[in-house]
Amino acid sequence: MNYDRADKIHIRDLLIRTVIGIYPHERGIRQDLMINLTLYTNQRPAADADDFNLTVDYQAVQESVVELAESSSFGLIEALASAIAVLLLEVEGVSACRVTVDKPNVLRYSKSVAVEIFRES
């Protein structure tokens, strides 16, 4: 499938606080992360019928991602991104996803460090 031309739902700039990091000083604190999600899904049926029941419930998706992220304690943002992707691919109608996790203020002179992954079912 050509995902460049696919329908997408974006959830942008989702701010969460979680335990993340590999260093001892990071393990006892909650840090801010910025998460961006792209869900690849066919929006034509929902758009044609103007019917909420035919689309992805992005509020429910957001709540699930927040719950997963805030209750986790991964060492790597890569691992968190992968776990979120697994969750998203379980959502009915989602054929692929892109997950970006930004960890702000982790490197001097940088606004953030980010990992972006793409997964498909």
Domain 3-120 has CATH 3.90.1150.10: no
User: Measured between alpha carbons, how far is 64 from 84 in angstroms, rounded to an integer?
Assistant: 9
Domain ranges of the chain: 3-120
Per-residue pLDDT tens digits for 30-67: 999 999 999 999 999 999 999 999 999 999 999 999 99
Spatial CA neighbour of 84 closest among 59, 63, 54, 106: 63
Per-residue pLDDT tens digits for 90-112: 999 999 999 999 999 999 999 99
Burial class (CB in 10 A: 0-12, 13-18, 19+), 88: buried
Segment 15-34 shows an average pLDDT of 95
Q: Is 91 helix (H, G, I), strand (E, B) or coil?
A: coil
Segment 73-99 shows an average pLDDT of 98
Dihedral-angle region of residue 57 (phi above 0 means left; psi in -120 to 50 means alpha; beta otherwise) = beta
- Cross-strand bridge partners of residue 34: 15, 102
